[in-house]
Homo-oligomer: A and B are copies of this chain.
Amino acid sequence: MLNCSPFESGYCEFQQILDDSAIDQILFRLAESAMRKAGHRYGAFLDAATTAAKLAIYMTYLEENQNLRKTGRLHHLEPKRVKEIVHEIQGALLRGKLLKVLGSQEPRYLIGLPYLWQQQHPWRPGQPRLINKALTPSEINLVEEKLPPDVPDAQVINSFQFIELLELLHEKSQSSLPVDRRTPLSEAFRDHIEMRLLHSKTVIQIEAFGELPFYGLARMTYSPTGQQERTYTVIEDVAEFFTLRQAWVDERPDVLRAVETLDIAVEDREQALQELSSLLQDWADKYHREGGEPMVLQMAVGKRLAD
């Protein structure tokens, strides 16, 4: 099921562990997307999973006529905990309190940084990128030369300004939280955010001359490592595919499930995939009618790895 090219050594060995359980596999892929690609915190992912489980419990609670004990027994937790969970969910549903979910593909405190930077430290062509009275013009030149080409219009700032920026960002991202859940920006958290920004090459660090380094904004998007634009559509496609399959479980008449397994000669492959692609388009063109019911088709074809 999992692919094992030499560049993905991790997957190979995990294969043994995740083995036959599809749910474990999906969870692993989700963790990868959320944490490794999008940069969500470890704890945030755990919280999101817990929240999902709590919602499931809440559904059972409703189905079982709001019987705390029975719900608890069905899912093996204390009725006391069930009650807390029910309160938590209802608080979210009725009073708009927030549950601990990931909320968006990328953490807000990461997405927002480039804009805040530009706002706080704008730069116009012709001006010096770095304003620092302790440095000679030639030193400033050295710093500016280390910037890659085509960086956004923003000044190069020093470490203190950078930390200030992160703190401001943290405040903003917390403004949507209820007061009791807000926390000051801890050192560990700050280090984490900085590491994420550097790792994703949104921000670059420029060594200063024996002092704390400078920071430059390298691009406007916080993007995960790898082909970010595709990475995100994957999750959305999977979510939609999941939804469609669930509808199929209910045997809705308007849902089609199709799974084909076949062997294709390597030399035919390209042609086969192209033909399939145009078959689908022709089909869609043929049946499309303005004002009809909106439909979606999700398809994936590729190498079959397990039977």
Task: Using CB atoms and an 8 Å cutoff, list the residues of chain A in contact with chain B.
Answer: 1-3, 9-10, 13-14, 16-36, 41-43, 45-46, 48-53, 55-60, 62, 70, 73-78, 92-93, 99, 101-105, 188-189, 191-192, 194-196, 199, 226-227, 230-231, 234-266, 268-270, 272-273, 275-277, 279-281, 283-284, 286-305, 307
Q: How many Å lie between the Cα of A10 and that of B56 in the bound state?
A: 9
Given A24-B102, A31-B53, A297-B300, check contact A284 B259 (CB 8 Å).
no
| B24 pairs with A26, CB closer than 8 A | no
| A300 pairs with B74, CB closer than 8 A | no
| B302 pairs with A287, CB closer than 8 A | no
Return A79 CB to nearest CB of chain B, in Å.
10
Contact partners of A31 in chain B: CB under 8 A: 49, 52-53, 55-56
Given A14-B55, A24-B52, A31-B52, 7 more A-B residue pairs with CB atoms under 8 Å apart are A25-B242, A31-B53, A238-B245, A266-B293, A269-B295, A298-B300, A298-B301
Return A245 CB to nearest CB of chain B, in Å.
4
Q: How many Å lie between the Cα of A245 and that of B248 in the bound state?
A: 21
| B43 pairs with A77, CB closer than 8 A | yes
Q: Interface on chain A toward B: helix, strand, loop, or mixed SS?
A: helix
13 example contacts (A-B, Cβ-Cβ < 8 A) are as follows: A2-B243, A25-B239, A42-B57, A45-B49, A74-B196, A234-B242, A238-B245, A258-B280, A261-B296, A263-B290, A263-B295, A265-B292, A299-B300
Task: Kindly report which residue of chain B lies nearest to residue A188, judged by CB atoms.
Answer: B76
Given A30-B52, A252-B302, A300-B248, check contact A24 B76 (CB 8 Å).
no
| B302 pairs with A13, CB closer than 8 A | no
| B76 pairs with A192, CB closer than 8 A | yes
| A245 pairs with B234, CB closer than 8 A | yes
Contact partners of A272 in chain B: CB under 8 A: 283, 286-287
Return A240 CB to nearest CB of chain B, in Å.
7
